[in-house]
Amino acid sequence: MTDGGMPVGTARKRPSRTIDTERLVLAVGGPALALAVAIALTSAVLLVSGRSPVEPYVLMVEYAANADIQVLIVNQATTYYIAALAVAVGFRMNLFNIGVDGQYRLAAMIAAVAGAAVTLPPVLHVLFIMLVAVLVGAFWAGIAGLLKTSRGVSEVVSTIMLNAIATSIIAFLVLPDQFGEQRGNNLTTGEIPRSGWFPNLDAGPGGEIYGFIVVAALLGLVYWVVLNRTRFGFDLRATGASPSAAAASGVDAKRMVFTSMVISGGVAGLAGMPVLLGDSHTYSLVFPAGIGFTGITIALLGRNHPLGIALGALLIAFLDKASATLDYNGYEKEIATIMQGLIVIAVVVSYEAVRRYGLRRQQQRVGEELAAQSGAHHQNLSKGASA
């Protein structure tokens, strides 16, 4: 069977391959363009200040070739990855969960207190600590979800305020007359027994990689499967794209908003577990902060895809850890911070540019298909008239 002198099967396969290729180019084009723009702008800043626009990158790459630095990068990326997944859950629902930072710190603090207070068999002890962290993170994010669905409060405003409240609660609970202990100039919640430690992976001379990286990878897999292979994931994405359209098809938009915030907070609660269970084994004043905000950058850079987020987490972790060498070579390590900020700006601009290009290509394809159908129709009419 033919259509306009061309086999039907052939006519259908070629556009499909073209569309798939264009989708791949558009998916990769945004992050690649953002990274290229960030590097170009950072190099321009270095050049204007009378510095070499290339040497800092060479120094960081050479420094990152050391085994111990590679371990630090992977460990940092593990924490970043989980935080970015939590942000991405909100993004797919068209929600801006800025509260990941407060959610993971409060969850880590409460989980540390609970983990140090109980005695359980090794596996159960770890699972108990993780469960506490998930529940605390989900509860704290659920407050913002409830405010949005019941009172229409923007999740941006509520999560910012909840971050401040979480910081104050942590500062209060870590005091010696509450759950904290004074150790030198530091305040800590006490060490979790060894049964609550998550086993790390031996990386030879480089040290140990957080064993929680396995959990992080599983979280990424579950995230992809749920969003792309389940009815719940479809409803979530549909509600994020158009709440009114989703409601018309029978989806409870408010319930989806609340559920998404709770899930995002639950995932955020696990962001502190690689450090808590694999390194510090306690919560103290020096526990990492700001990871939730970095997760926003990584989720944007990775376009909310688990593989893209993984690459983004490795890139930002590389900039964090490899920039330490700049201080010893006459460069300010804040160069890496400047680059991270430029990446955020470049991501927003490049994605908008790629989105507009994609819309133009889609409109062009529709026009070409309509023209082809019109031509085939006129050709069939001509053949019928001549017959």
Give the lowest-confidence range in 15-19, 74-78, 110-114, 354-358. 15-19
CA-closest candidate to residue 238, choices 265, 211, 256, 213: 256
| Integer Cα distance of 39 and 338 in angstroms | 10
65-95, pLDDT tens digit by residue? 999 999 999 999 999 999 999 999 999 998 9
**Is residue 99 over pLDDT 80?**
yes
pLDDT score at 351:
75
Question: Taking residues 186-207, what's their average pLDDT?
Answer: 94
pLDDT score at 12:
46
271-288, pLDDT tens digit by residue? 999 999 999 999 999 999
Residues 273 and 105: beta-carbon distance below 8 Å: no
pLDDT score at 4:
44
The mean predicted confidence, pLDDT, of the chain is: 88
Place of tokens 């420094």: 63
CA-closest candidate to residue 350, choices 44, 28, 31, 27: 31
| Integer Cα distance of 268 and 292 in angstroms | 8
**Burial profile 18-43: b = 16 or more Cβ within 10 angstroms, e = fewer:** eeeebeeebeebbbebbbebbbebbb
**Is residue 347 over pLDDT 90?**
no
**27 against 163, higher pLDDT:** 163
Return the CATH number of the domain spanning residue range 69-330: 1.10.3470.10
**Is residue 352 over pLDDT 90?**
no
Angle (CA) 46 77 37, round 5°: 30
Q: Give the list of residues 6+ apart from residue 201 with CB closer than 8 angstroms, or none.
A: 208, 209, 210, 211, 213
Question: Taking residues 178-184, what's their average pLDDT?
Answer: 88
Per-residue pLDDT band for 36 (boundaries 50, 70, 90) equals confident
**Is residue 217 over pLDDT 90?**
yes
pLDDT score at 6:
44
Per-residue pLDDT band for 156 (boundaries 50, 70, 90) equals very high
Question: Taking residues 239-264, what's their average pLDDT?
Answer: 89
pLDDT score at 348:
77
CB atoms within 10 A of CB 3: 15
The answer to whether the predicted template modeling score (pTM) of the entire model surpasses 0.75 is: yes
Give the lowest-confidence range in 84-98, 282-296, 308-322, 358-372. 358-372
